[in-house]
Amino acid sequence: MFIFQKYATFWQGLTKYPRNLLALIAGAMALLLLLLILFFQSVLPPIAQQEVELPVSTGVIKGTLWLPLSSSSVPGVVLVHGMASSRRSMQHLAKTLAYQGIGAFVFDLQGYGESSAINTQAPHTIYRENVIESLRFLQSHPAIQSHQIAFVGHSLGA
């Protein structure tokens, strides 16, 4: 009987103040979302992350290669960030592509992120060289199918 009284009092408090009911529902939804995230992370295929430094004529560009852990070679994609950004802005997309069976290389254009700075009046020429070297790197990587490489750029990176 005591339990039913406590339950009735609890339910009256929820229905009397709708914010309490909404808070309870939001808490239950958050718990459900957390459980779903934990479940699906254990279901995702394994991927590997490799930090890369590519020498270019004007310095060094730093990047990250995301690869699915499979026995065969996979298609690849080069992802280039936009202005006032870095490769970190494209990391989530790169990881998602790796989970889908596509190798993804993200890198910092020179003067951004961890890549070396540039002192020149024509930065777009340098950026073009950065992209070309990244494509060459991905094309020569043993885990990537050299004839199946795509390029995705955002803003300045396009």
**What are 20-78's pLDDT values in tens digits?**
667 778 888 888 888 877 776 667 788 999 999 999 988 899 999 999 987 689 999 99
Tell me the three-class secondary structure of the chain, residue by residue: CHHHHHHHHHHHHHHHCHHHHHHHHHHHHHHHHHHHHHHHHHHCCCEEEEEEEEEECCEEEEEEEEEECCCCCEEEEEEECCCCCCHHHHHHHHHHHHHCCCEEEEECCCCCCCCCCCCCCCHHHHHHHHHHHHHHHHHHCCCEEEEEEEEEECHHHC
Structure tokens given for 17: 């103040």
pLDDT of 84: 87
139/6: higher pLDDT: 139
Q: Distance (Å, rounded) from C-alpha 106 to C-alpha 88? A: 8
Q: With CA atoms as reference, report the closest residue to 87 among 109, 103, 69.
A: 109
pLDDT of 32: 86
Question: Is pLDDT at 111 greater than 90 in this prediction?
Answer: no
pLDDT of 119: 74
